[in-house]
Structure 1
């Protein structure tokens, strides 16, 4: 057999270890790993990794594509967002079928996203979402599971749009146990959010420059406590999205120590930006929920990112532009929240991890392995996405040649996400993808981007416990950081 592609002379990085090897690719999958001391196998194309790291293609577990919330719609589509993902070393994205209002069912919302995803350049998996419970929901969740959509997003806030009440949350958690699924939870205590926001409005402090005052740390941590109690009561596995405080992460750590199946996700912007951005020249660039936190909180969150307490890093990509952001920047209750980030996830997260670990030169094998876990392996395993997150024979040939020493300064206008800004504009970041292989195709190299066309596949997922039985949790490889 003559291979389709060989990535030669690379440092192959899996979360379980590293080795010098040639990666042999055939028919869209990894065919073999050949020791780097051996001759390079014959292939239609050979790419010399020249000792650089080869990581599993990124798996972004939290993206919002063509999302309608209230009167706003994100400006992207799957062609745009998947292209940006590939530019950033992400080869699989997980989007959400969120009902646009109570007239759209969870099943209809998910099937709509499956159709839209036909334009994707990378592989796509989906989460469902339930906003309001009725007697049809269990059958809909069964059909979603049969389609390979094995998780459900639940919002504990966003009154009037996507919030699910506690009765709905509890019933969905029971269904996730029955259907071997996973609950995705946006944890902010709605009553506290509403009260705090109303008090801010009464004081005339409701513009974007006051966003962080309307949603303090306690709002997130109180909601995490409440959901953890429901998870313990039902036995359901829960994945907390975009955790922004060390207190929220510590609650998950304590729950896991009690034997609960709970996971912490954070996002790049919570690791490198703090609430000083709301007094900057363009505070509307940073409208997201939860908001950015104090410098002390950010530093403590980074320590947990480095010590293994956080299990995945996702972009929470939401593609609004500055016209939409500025339309009602005078009132955070009316403006759209969410940041573009699918393309910059890799360098922002790697920069934050290296800084938190105090590694500013050549990264250790342990650091690279931990990054592979956060960026790819962990999201693939926790979300039970088959064939992803590991470089080994039989796995999909989703690969990134990555130079952890390469630095670039972010220019929002030069990115490919379909919007006109980046919250990381002007920041110098290290660790950028140099070659990206998706499904065995080289889509990014020194000559630029090679559009593969709409070849991305909708990827059905396995059950949570079904997959976990074959994929034990990896040991934490970095020393635990001091707590605050």
Structure 2
């Protein structure tokens, strides 16, 4: 058997299976899973005592994202450097048009940036409003391998789409093997709450969690589910932060609706107590962080299987941007940097504690994100034929998360000082060792854009 490299001595976890096998790599792909020690190669990675998993697939990254007057600070090279350092070897970015921009044009510009990355990337398109060209643009995007389309029910005048646009986009995407990716918060409820908070002088970053109630998310999810059910088309809900929202999706799925729930690491591991701290502006995100009891209940949905995927919702703003207008959360940039910390904090909170198995961890952080973005089994798997994107974890590695020890293009992490156990010590991208000893040792740009296959259920 030809072998360029062998990852030997570890416990391999992939696609609902785990066991003590070696991973044989040839031509940038997984060639075979074999008995330990049965194949040798000139290059070997010693994974003794380690857990060997597919590189993570982050289904929710905003790279160089412009919202209002602010643009996040990282490019594809910086974002993917941070990603691979944290064990993620594929990111899914967004091409979100500004007012007046055509979705297909924005997607082409964002897709062209993929070769700058240290790892591969896929892409979600986005539609804000429907016009006479939108249907043809969606067909063109599908032909080019862009089948997931982000839509928002909030941010009036920026990215918010109305119900008619949701319906038209869903109806068009269904036959194309596509799916709407929905950010759900009922805008009218948010605007009413924000107006009341502003009148009471409570609209600063310290009160952000009071301006976007859980009801707004739950009501919007129910509304979009109704459209999906009426059309028989799939829908994927990003960054669900309330147990009720997840339960609505789970109930709809049991009734035959092709609906999926994503949670993000910060909603699973942080709570709204941080808004009472020294830097509340650093934690302004939408939806906001929820009360500790809500966070615990959301975690039970991850454990039960109701949540399909875990993303980061990575938005790389820095403190200076966050403090520019921190007196009014309606105007300040929202989003948290998290592409590098997604896997380590979720592994520490759920796998190390015994709440999730390694198999389930791989499912929600790699395999399911790949499937729901039309790039499986090329990504999210270690079965023969898959890309040799591999993360070797030391479950006993104890580290304290600090900004100085990370690679994201910002001056803070929401997990500053958090102690975790378990870290990816070696990471391969396409069979090349890019991280070794938890250090980036190869910063060659090898990124490729990944076209999505039609999504079928």
Aligned to 1:298: 295
CA distance in 2, matches of 1:187, 1:225: 9
> Residues 198-217 of structure 1: matches in 2 within 5 Å?
198-217=195-214
Shift of 1:144: 0.7
Q: 1:405/1:59 Cα in 2 relative to 1: closer, same or farther (>3 Å)?
A: same
> Residues 33-112 of structure 1: matches in 2 within 5 Å?
33-36=33-36, 39-99=37-97, 101-112=98-109
Post-superposition CA distance 1:242-288 (Å, at most 9, x none): 00010111001100110111111001111111111100111111010
Post-superposition CA distance 1:24-43 (Å, at most 9, x none): 0000000011112xx34121
CA distance in 2, matches of 1:347, 1:216: 29
> Residues 242-281 of structure 1: matches in 2 within 5 Å?
242-281=239-278
1:312 to 297, 309, 314: 309
Q: Is the 8 A contact 2:7 2:45 kept in 1?
A: yes
Q: Secondary structure at the match of 2:8?
A: strand
Q: Is the 8 A contact 1:12 1:54 kept in 2?
A: yes
> Residues 81-160 of structure 1: matches in 2 within 5 Å?
81-99=79-97, 101-160=98-157
CA distance in 2, matches of 1:26, 1:276: 49
CA distance in 1, matches of 2:350, 2:237: 20
Q: Secondary structure at the match of 2:42?
A: strand
Identify which range, 371-380 or 113-122, moves more after superposition.
113-122
2:398 aligned with 1:403? no
2:450 to 447, 456, 459: 459
Identify which range, 446-455 or 153-162, moves more after superposition.
446-455
Q: Is the 8 A contact 1:15 1:370 kept in 2?
A: no
Q: TM-score, normalised by structure 2?
A: 0.98
2:390 aligned with 1:393? no
Post-superposition CA distance 1:362-390 (Å, at most 9, x none): xxxx7010001011011011111140111
Q: Is the 8 A contact 2:85 2:439 kept in 1?
A: no
Q: Is the 8 A contact 1:188 1:224 kept in 2?
A: yes
Aligned to 2:21: 21
Post-superposition CA distance 1:175-230 (Å, at most 9, x none): 11121101100000011011111111011100001101111110100000000000
2:454 aligned with 1:444? no
Gaps of 5+ in 2: none
CA distance in 1, matches of 2:14, 2:62: 27
CA distance in 2, matches of 1:344, 1:222: 30
Shift of 1:451: 2.7
> Residues 326-405 of structure 1: matches in 2 within 5 Å?
326-354=323-351, 358-359=353-354, 367-386=357-376, 387-405=378-396
Q: TM-score, normalised by structure 1?
A: 0.92
Superposition CA RMSD, Å: 1.2
Aligned to 2:223: 226
Post-superposition CA distance 1:97-142 (Å, at most 9, x none): 100x222110011001012222111001001000011010011111
Q: Is the 8 A contact 2:122 2:451 kept in 1?
A: yes
Aligned to 2:169: 172
Q: Is the 8 A contact 2:54 2:390 kept in 1?
A: yes
Q: Is the 8 A contact 1:2 1:44 kept in 2?
A: no
CA distance in 2, matches of 1:157, 1:447: 39
Q: Secondary structure at the match of 2:294?
A: helix
Q: Secondary structure at the match of 2:122?
A: strand
CA distance in 1, matches of 2:383, 2:168: 39
Post-superposition CA distance 1:67-116 (Å, at most 9, x none): 111211111100000110000100000001100x2221100110010122
CA distance in 2, matches of 1:277, 1:219: 21
Q: Is the 8 A contact 2:49 2:394 kept in 1?
A: no
Aligned to 1:422: 413
CA distance in 1, matches of 2:2, 2:439: 26
Post-superposition CA distance 1:371-422 (Å, at most 9, x none): 0101101101111114011111111101110122322111023210110000
